[in-house]
Amino acid sequence: MSDHEHAASDELIFALDIGTRTVVGLIVEPAGEQFRVIDCTVHEHSERSMLDGQIHDVMAVSRVIGKIKEELEAKHGLLTKVAVAAAGRSLRTKRVRMDIQLSRHAAVTRDDVLTLEFSAVQEAQSLLAQELNEQDVTRYYCVGYSVVNYFLDEELIGNLIDQRGEKASVDVIATFLPRVVVDSLLAALNRCGLDMQALTLEPIAAINVLIPVTMRRLNIALVDIGAGTSDVALTEEGAITAYGMVPVAGDEITDALMNAFLLDFPMAEEVKRALTSSDEITFTDILGLEQTLSTEEVVKAIMPEITNLAGKIAVKILELNGKAPQAVMLIGGGSLTPKLTERVAEALGLPAARVAVRGADAIRQFVGEHPLLNGPEFVTPVGIAVAARRHPVKYVTVTVNDHSIRIFDLRKMTVGDALIASGLDIRRLHGRPGMAITLTVNGRMKMIPGGHGTPPVIEKNGEACGLDTPIAEGDRIVAVAGQDGENATVQVIDLMDKLDTLELFINEQPVSLGPVALVDGVPLPLDASLTDRSEIVIRLPRTVEEVLRESGVWSADGADEPVEVFHFQVNGHETTLPALQKIVQVNGKDAAFSDFVRPGDQLTFREEPFQAPEIRDVIPPEEWVQETISVHFNGQPVTITLASLSITMNGRAAEQHEIVENGAVISVKASTPTAPVFSDVFRYVDVSLEKPVTEGISRLVMLVNGEPASFHTELNAGDKLELYWE
- 654-681: per-residue pLDDT in tens? 877 788 888 888 888 777 777 788 877 7
Q: DSSP assignment of 627-641, as one string?
A: -EEEEEETTEEEEEE
**In what helix (H) or strand (E) does residue 31 lie, and over which residues does it extend?**
strand 22-31
Does the pLDDT at position 5 exceed 50?
A: no
Q: What is the Cα–Cα distance from 724 to 726, expressed in whole angstroms?
A: 7
Higher pLDDT, 389 or 320: 320
Average the pLDDT over 140-168 and give the result.
83
| CATH fold group of domain 394-433+451-486 | Ubiquitin-like (UB roll) (3.10.20)
What are the backbone dihedrals phi and psi of residue 71, each rounded to the nearest 5 degrees, phi first? -55, -45
**Does 433 have pLDDT greater than 90?**
no
Residue pair 326/219 in contact by the 8 Å Cβ criterion: yes
* Rounded-to-integer distance, Cα 25 and Cα 9, Å: 17
Q: Which helix (H) or strand (E) holds 208?
A: helix 202-210
- Between the CA of residue 330 and those of 6, 309, 358, what are the distances in Å? 40, 13, 6
Q: How many residues does the chain have?
A: 726
End-to-end CA separation in angstroms for the chain: 186
Q: Is the pLDDT of residue 105 over 50?
A: yes
User: How far apart are the C-alpha atoms of 397 and 466, rounded to whole Å?
Assistant: 19
Q: Do residues 132 and 208 lie in contact, with contact meaning Cβ atoms separated by under 8 Å?
A: no
What are 524's strand-pairing partners? 517
CA–CA dist 447, 339 (Å, integer): 63
How would you class 435 by CB atoms within 10 Å of its CB: exposed for 0-12, middle for 13-18, buried for 19 or more? middle
Report CA-CA distances (Å) from 605 to 182, 291, 564, 583, 588: 93, 123, 19, 6, 11
Q: What is the pLDDT of residue 2?
A: 41
Candidate from 104-108, 325-329, 444-448, 632-636 with smallest mean pLDDT: 104-108
50 pLDDT more than 70: no
Query: How many CB atoms lie under 10 A from the CB of residue 512?
Result: 9
* Phi, psi (degrees; rounded to nearest 5) at 139: -80, 10
State how far the Cα of 525 lies from the Cα of 557, in Å rounded to an integer: 13
Dihedral angle, C-alpha 377, 379, 381, 383, nearest 10 °: -160
Burial class (CB in 10 A: 0-12, 13-18, 19+), 468: middle
pLDDT at 259: 92
Q: Please tell me the predicted confidence (pLDDT) of residue 4.
A: 44
* Nearest-angstrom CA–CA distance, 379 and 391: 16
Q: For residue 326, what pLDDT is reported?
A: 92
- Cα distances (Å, whole numbers) of residue 535 to 45, 202, 441, 698: 76, 64, 6, 95
One fold for both 3-91+180-390 and 394-433+451-486? no
Residue whose C-alpha is closest to residue 467's, from 531, 417, 534: 417
Residues 6+ apart with CB under 8 A from 33: none
What is the rounded average pLDDT for all residues in the chain?
81
Contact (CB, 8 A) for 348 and 48: no
Q: Which of 174, 238, 242, 256 is nearest to 203 (CA)?
A: 242
The pLDDT value given to residue 559:
47
Higher pLDDT, 704 or 352: 352
- The amino acid occupying position 80 is T
| Mean pLDDT computed over 481-486 | 86
Report percent pLDDT > 70 for the chain. 88
Contact call for residues 640 and 718 (beta carbons, < 8 A): no
Report the alpha-carbon distance of residue 134 to residue 611 in Å, rounded. 91
Nearest CA to 234 out of 176, 149, 175, 181 is that of 175
CA distances from 177 to 131, 138, 719 (A): 15, 11, 123
- Give the residue, 104 or 60, on which the prediction is more confident: 60
Please say whether the beta carbons of 717 and 676 come within 8 A. no
Q: Exposure string (b/e) for 449-462, b if CB count within 10 Å is 16 or more? A: ebbbbebbebebee
Distance CA 354, CA 349 (A): 10
Structure confidence by residue, pLDDT tens digits, 512-571: 888 888 888 888 887 888 888 888 888 888 888 888 888 877 765 444 445 667 778 888
The residue extents of the domains of the chain are 3-91+180-390, 394-433+451-486, 617-725
Contact 682, 702 (CB under 8 A): no
Please report the pLDDT score of residue 19 as a whole number: 76
pLDDT for 600-640, tens place per residue?
888 888 887 777 788 777 777 666 666 778 888 887 888 87
Are 670 and 625 spatial neighbours (Cβ–Cβ below 8 Å)? Answer: yes
Q: Say how far apart CA 199 and CA 177 lie, in whole Å.
A: 12
Mention every residue, 6+ apart, whose C-beta is less than 8 A from residue 698.
726
Residue 349 — pLDDT band, cuts 50, 70, 90?
A: very high
Q: Name the DSSP letter for residue 334.
A: G
pLDDT at 379 over 50: yes
d(CA 473, CA 409): 10
Which one-letter amino acid corresponds to residue 396? V
Which residue in 720, 12, 17 sits closest to 373, CA to CA?
17
Q: Residue 1: which pLDDT band, with cuts at 50, 70 and 90?
A: very low
3-91+180-390 folds as Nucleotidyltransferase; domain 5 (3.30.420)
Based on its alpha-carbon atoms, the radius of gyration of the chain, rounded to whole angstroms, reads 54
Query: Is residue 3 very low, low, confident or very high in pLDDT (cuts 50, 70, 90)?
Result: very low
